[in-house]
Amino acid sequence: MCGRYSIYEPMDHYLKELAPQQLIINGYDLWPIERYNVAPTTRVEIIRSTAEGLSVDKVKWGWSPFWAKGEGKRPAPINARVETVMTGKFFKQLWPNGRALAPANGWFEWVKDPDDPKKKQPYFIRLKEEGPMFFAALAEVHQGLEQDPQDGFVIITADSDQGMVDIHDRRPVVLSPEHAREWVDPETTPERAAEIAKECCRQTEDFTWFEVSKDVGNVRNQGPYLVEASAND
């Protein structure tokens, strides 16, 4: 998965699909989010469970454990591989109690031009029915008036299977609303959560993808045109 995605509907749009009858413990804007070009290190809405109900929090995309902060100048990871996230040392602090969802409308991937590897064409990948997506995520969030610098989240990724591998060899783990509810349910066991992440990603045939404007390559660019089909620039 490349490091850009899109979330532009009002938060109600995602919550009604995810958990129409579940209590939301905090307020959120009713206006469209309109984040057509979400980039790493920016704060964006995620959904997670608390003892009182679901919480919507704006959290930085990217996370490192406290002990890794001084290891060189590499940016904090934005993704975590489903094959190792539950057993490796790096994300041990987040698994399994940091389970969260990153709602989205789609994500971007870049494909190299076969005639000129320096040129890349961006694609937008969304569900065929254009419904809301729920990326399986892990997050660290501290409740309070100020954002804790340690707070952040990562999106879990898996191997792209046949068909989508032409676009990229990794993709986010996209869950159906039913599996997404189960993923963030605190009653779900770690064993079942692992099964969901590894086996319940929506199938390739549920998605469509198409070329979009190369303007998405600039993090400052926003707007609906970034997720509309476009001929090569």
What is the domain partition of the chain in residue ranges?
A: 5-105+132-202
Instruction: Check if 109 is active-site.
Output: yes
Task: Give φ, ψ of 188 to 5 degrees.
Answer: -70, 130
Give the chain's mean pLDDT: 91
Among candidates 193, 201, 181, 43, which has minimal Cα distance to 127? Answer: 201
Average pLDDT over residues 117-137: 94
Q: Under a CB-based contact definition with an 8 Å cutoff, are residues 139 and 63 in contact?
A: yes
What DSSP designation does 214 have?
G
At 162 the pLDDT is 52
- Partnered with residue 35 across adjacent β-strands are 7
At 70 the pLDDT is 61
At 117 the pLDDT is 79
Q: Which residue has the higher pLDDT, 13 or 168?
A: 13
| Residue in the structure block whose two tokens are 């490796």 | 88
The architecture in CATH of the region 5-105+132-202 reads Alpha-Beta Complex (3.90)
Instruction: Check if 201 is active-site.
Output: no
At 112 the pLDDT is 85
At 199 the pLDDT is 95
Query: How do residues 32-45 score in pLDDT, each as one tens digit?
Result: 999 999 999 999 99
Average pLDDT over residues 84-95: 95
At 233 the pLDDT is 47
Residue type, 102: A
- Partnered with residue 112 across adjacent β-strands are 120
Burial class (CB in 10 A: 0-12, 13-18, 19+), 121: middle
Lowest mean pLDDT among 52-56, 73-77, 225-229: 73-77
Q: Which residue has the higher pLDDT, 111 or 9?
A: 9
Average pLDDT over residues 137-153: 86
Average pLDDT over residues 22-29: 84
- Tokens (6 digits) for 149: 């610098």
The residue from 45, 109, 140, 182 that is catalytic is: 109
70: left (phi over 0), alpha (psi -120 to 50) or beta: alpha
Say how far apart CA 113 and CA 119 lie, in whole Å: 6
Sign, Cα dihedral of 17, 18, 24, 29: negative
| Residue in the structure block whose two tokens are 């404007």 | 213
Average pLDDT over residues 204-230: 95
Task: Give φ, ψ of 141 to 5 degrees.
Answer: -135, 130
- Tokens (6 digits) for 159: 């191997």
